[in-house]
Structure 1
Amino acid sequence: MKHQVPTPAVAPPAAAAAAAVKFEGQTKTSRMKVKWTQLGLVFFLILSLVMTGCFFWQYQMPKVQPDEGMGRSAKSEMMCPRFPEPLPLEHPIPSLKEALEKVDVLLRQTINPISLPALSAIVILNDTVLWTGNFGKRNASDPHSGPTNEYTIYRIASLSKLFPTLMLYKLWEDGKIGSLDDPLEKYVENFTIKNPLGKMRDSELKYVTDGLIFLDSGEVQIRSSSVTLRRMASQLSGLPRRLRATNLLWKGKTQSAINLLQDDVLVSDPGTKCHYSNLAFSLLAHVMAERVAGVDYQQWITENILDRLGMEDTSFDLTPGMQSQLAVGVYSNGKPAPLYDLGWYRPSGQMFSTAADLAKLAMMLLGAYHRKLLEPDSLKIMLTPLFRCDKDYFANRTGTPWEVNELMGYELLRKDGDLDGYSATFSLVPRLKLGLVVLMAGSRSQKQDVVTKAYNHIVPAIERAFREAKKVLVAPPNPDHYIGFFTYSNITFYEIKVGPDGVLIMQQFGPQIEELIPEKYRTIKLNYLVDRVFKVVFEKEYPCVLQVGTASVSLEAQDGQLFNFYVFNKQGLSPGFDAPGLNTYNVVRIPRRPSFSS
């Protein structure tokens, strides 16, 4: 992404020399006059983050013609904030409604009565269910079968891997696991596996330290990396895809699995390569349950996650009530698929769920659900990508347990699942507080990625809605402390006054400033945070790069700066402020508005 060199909002000392001015009088005179010889500087500002309120809104989709535009329109000028902060929205929003209509058409067109007869999808924004889409029938071979809905049961396959990961973070939060990076040997005393790639003789030896990859040369031996809990949850453990001489229906015990590994081989040195492993997640789940929690894995998940989040239709096994709501999975030829019991591999792919239940899980992971499972710091760690994968891996990066790719500059976190007769995707765009769940009875399309295509419609509409949303700003307890005139080195000048809502307004002024810079980019609002600290705010979107004569200024680089006002003097006024994020200090109060000579 191309950026212009940022220009400070309040000029640093280097700028003072470049923009030297002559003073005709100082603060002791009755009138200040300043002769301008160069442009000073422009104030730039932020979009404020306000996450208050809670509402649920669903867009009802009228039918849209299939040939209506599916692409993202290009803008002639890049507008910012490039990544707008999530704000409360007042629905309905026409552009968002239009985008969801296109998603409706997209998913409706994927239905195939033979290979993909049923699909349920749900779009989540923060704590809001924006839209649900349900297509086809639960049982394509039964003419009396009912239509799908958000409570239709699907097998979710590898989406089941979300739950061992949640268990890991919860046990870590509760202090039952010392570190996410504990080696597996800490909890399984007799765990061993051969790691021939941990010691190498190679002219280009690749090793990892503090998350960085380095190359060394010559005849070198390095210490073997360990199979850690976090690596097991992020496809970085190096463990094989499954236990040797077993398949996904293996009914063995955890100790038998550990015994089988003693003469097995890691396929890569742990922490150095992305390698998909059902074995890693199943072993992690069983070890945490049996050796740490002291209970059965399924019991722990049910009591500590499913019950806690109210995921009433999510389970490892079908109850009679769930059976009646099941979407029948089919192979690509339309033949019904059997519901295999995955035995010891259940943690990696056994579970059943609904779009409605997985929406609750998505809201929790986005930090918006009213039932809390993990602390915000833990959620932040869980949603952070860990490692960049090789080009031959199916995702650009990996996380716990995510496959991570870039979408329009955002990190798109996905967990995909495919198992006989069923396909599923659970996905999040954390920066937008956005989620999309798609559950399918049948095989996902190999011709197109409907999840990415759906986001291509939704993301621009969400961005536009956030940019146009009303910002809720906070006024200071007493604005009188801050109002008045200020200058930086007698080069740039600012007036702070009180708006009708009590929120402070700051405007930069001066002859050349007023001639070259539109007023809306010279005027900002100050959002009060705490203890004389304010955040500058643009009310509307702005050009990422502002052309000022023959120069260009990056407004985007100034976005979100904090102003720290000084302790009040005897007159109850703040003598000035700093902008530490811009390395700018001593913007000082002056007694009156200066006048300028040409």
Structure 2
Amino acid sequence: MKVKWTMLGMVVFFLLSVVMTCCFIWQYRMPKLKTEVAVKKAAVEDMCPKFPEPVPLKHPITSLRAALEKIDVLLRSSVDNTRLPAISAIVVLNDSVLWNGNFGKRNMSDPSSSAPNEYTVYRIASLSKIFPTLMLYKLWENGLVDSLDDPLEKYADNFTIKNPLGKSGGPTARTLSRRSPALTLRRMASQLSGLPRRLRSTNLLWSGDTKAALNLLQDDVLVADPGTKCHYSNVAFSLLANILAQKVTGSDFESWVSDNILQRLSMEDTGFNLTTAIQKQMAVGVYSNGQPAPLYNLGWYRPAGQMYSTAADMAKLMMALLGGYGWTLLRQDTLNTMLTPVIRCHSSYFANSTGTPWEINQKFGYDVVRKDGDLDGYAATLALVPRLKLGLVILMAGVRPADQDLASQAYSYLIPAVENAFRDAKRTLRPPLNPAPYVGFFTYRNMTFYEIKVDSDGVLVMQQFGPQVDTNVPSKYRTIRLDYLQDRVFRVVFESPYPCKLKVNSASVSLEAQDRQLFNFFPFNKKGVSPGFDSPGLNTYRVTRIAGRPYFTS
């Protein structure tokens, strides 16, 4: 009987093994639908340019209008009769106003109150910090400040503060003679000074002066070693503004800002003093319970948060910061420096990176450079996307919504729409005044060969030919157009979109690295033609002219 049960067990085990083997073979031979889909997805090429170049647009653009309508709905639905009775917002693109919207009432307690408009005045709170920063960059640009990284002690001889977190260890007074990290002007303007948020035993209404502030700091401590940690400080901006005004310009900060920024940009409804005339133009700020907020004046901290403005005036400021035509305030290279992130912040800080004076986060791969401000009864946001020449300001009378970031939500609609509009826009390239000196055949070390011709618009077109050409590469990726910039200088332009990387034989060529590079043609010879060109950005030199199309033997 035992033998029979053993035999039966062996038979069952054999049958089970056969079934499992058949299942394995069946599973193996099934079509790999999911795997194939994954492989296909992996094989899809990344297309470039990743960031389209801002170009003039022909309006109306349906997708852009749809995005602006969503922003309109977003802000309109954010108005609350008690907590947030008035909102004004404006969007700029390049050097023009793209859209503006005004919602709610200027004074909710007055039944006859009108809706706000782009000229309604709001307090802008910490957006005021943009102006000490502009002052710093303007003085640096004009040579009155030697370096953005000058130590504060250079302009304030009696400035000392204890730094127990410095490398030297122990409580030490910061002086110019020490080699520990300096408390520089740039760090003061980018929340990297390590200075406390406020002076000891003071509030925003403190009416002392800069001398008294420096005296208070002598027995205070740095919150962080300068340049090592993002830490929000109103002290830094007030100190920076007042010391630069007194020591460098010989005037007071508010007069300098009025003369050199506000008047220059025609920001007629922006300033510091809340006069009776200004108050009549204002939306009434309220607390969360709907009670009107008092319009108190900040004391020594005025540079860090006192100012008021309108959506129309802030649009002018944004266009100036984006380098818009007609609003020249700083040179483009200075603006580029001002809009560049300085350092990445620690995870507990409220922004990914800090700048001068910005908080910077990313949206769809773009740096969104922004400044937020909140002061009793008012809130404000200015946010720029420099790569897209795009700007947004939201001014609020009331309390900023806690459940959503209005600027971030608005940009979730706006950035894709503007990006696609730039991608779809036809690029107009500039032809040279006389194309003849550039037309002909060229070679790089007799390895690669090129012909430059003129298209129907007079624009130069360069195409590769010869034995090194891989015929599997589509012709349009072997052809580039040259955009004329200035005397003998052209910019490479690929037809968009194009694959970021292109496989040629066993190698991989980056078209992204080649796009927008410069060709610098050599001075014309006695025959009136250029004998060749360099492309420094591609580390390619002496691409030389040859007499005609060469003949290649197989």
Gaps of 5+ in 2: 1-43, 171-177
- How do 1:30-429 and structure 2 match up within 5 A? 78-200=46-168, 223-429=179-385
1:468 aligns with 2:424: yes
Partner residue in 1 for 2:19: none
What is the distance in 1 between the residues matched to 2:93 and 2:72? 17
Counterpart of 2:369 in 1: which secondary structure?
Answer: strand
8 Å CA contact retained: 1:471, 1:539: no
Partner residue in 2 for 1:17: none
What is the distance in 2 between the residues matched to 1:454 and 1:115? 20
Q: Which amino acid letter does the alignment assign opposite residue 276 of structure 1? A: Y
Which of 528, 533, 558 aligns to 2:489? It is 533
8 Å CA contact retained: 2:88, 2:311: yes
8 Å CA contact retained: 2:156, 2:243: yes
Q: Which amino acid letter does the alignment assign opposite residue 149 of structure 1? A: N
Partner residue in 2 for 1:37: none
What is the distance in 1 between the residues matched to 2:444 and 2:148? 48
Which of 1 and 2 has higher RCO (CA within 8 Å, sep 6+)?
A: 1
Displacement of 1:245:
0.9
Counterpart of 1:516 in 2: which secondary structure?
Answer: coil
Counterpart of 1:418 in 2: which secondary structure?
Answer: strand
What is the distance in 1 between the residues matched to 2:393 and 2:82? 22
What is the distance in 1 between the residues matched to 2:101 and 2:361? 24
What is the distance in 2 between the residues matched to 1:370 and 1:238? 38
8 Å CA contact retained: 1:198, 1:223: no
Q: Which amino acid letter does the alignment assign opposite residue 583 of structure 1? A: N
Partner residue in 2 for 1:42: none
8 Å CA contact retained: 2:447, 2:468: no
Displacement of 1:103:
1.7
Cα deviation, 1:245-267, whole Å, max 9, x if unaligned, reads 11111112221111111111111
Structure 1 residues 398 and 591 mapped into 2: Cα distance closer, same or farther (>3 Å)?
Answer: same
What is the distance in 2 between the residues matched to 1:118 and 1:260? 40
Structure 1 residues 281 and 585 mapped into 2: Cα distance closer, same or farther (>3 Å)?
Answer: closer
What is the distance in 2 between the residues matched to 1:106 and 1:543? 37
Partner residue in 2 for 1:22: none
What is the distance in 1 between the residues matched to 2:103 and 2:506? 56
8 Å CA contact retained: 2:476, 2:495: no
Structure 1 residues 275 and 588 mapped into 2: Cα distance closer, same or farther (>3 Å)?
Answer: same
8 Å CA contact retained: 1:355, 1:439: yes
Structure 1 residues 112 and 165 mapped into 2: Cα distance closer, same or farther (>3 Å)?
Answer: same
Q: Which amino acid letter does the alignment assign opposite residue 111 of structure 2? A: P
- How do 1:482-521 and structure 2 match up within 5 A? 482-509=438-465, 513=469, 515-521=471-477
Structure 1 residues 149 and 585 mapped into 2: Cα distance closer, same or farther (>3 Å)?
Answer: same
Gaps of 5+ in 1: 1-75, 203-221
Q: Which amino acid letter does the alignment assign opposite residue 335 of structure 1? A: Q
Counterpart of 2:463 in 1: which secondary structure?
Answer: strand
8 Å CA contact retained: 1:199, 1:223: no
Structure 1 residues 130 and 573 mapped into 2: Cα distance closer, same or farther (>3 Å)?
Answer: same
Q: Which amino acid letter does the alignment assign opposite residue 147 of structure 1? A: A
Structure 1 residues 90 and 346 mapped into 2: Cα distance closer, same or farther (>3 Å)?
Answer: same
Q: Which amino acid letter does the alignment assign opposite residue 184 of structure 1? A: L
What is the distance in 1 between the residues matched to 2:192 and 2:546? 59
TM-score (norm 1): 0.79
8 Å CA contact retained: 2:438, 2:530: yes
What is the distance in 1 between the residues matched to 2:470 and 2:360? 46
8 Å CA contact retained: 1:249, 1:341: yes
Over the matched positions of the two proteins, sequence identity in percent amounts to 68
8 Å CA contact retained: 1:360, 1:369: no
Cα deviation, 1:545-584, whole Å, max 9, x if unaligned, reads 3456786543212211222334445544434333332233
What is the distance in 2 between the residues matched to 1:595 and 1:522? 20
Cα deviation, 1:192-218, whole Å, max 9, x if unaligned, reads 11111124569xxxxxxxxxxxxxxxx
More helix per residue: 2
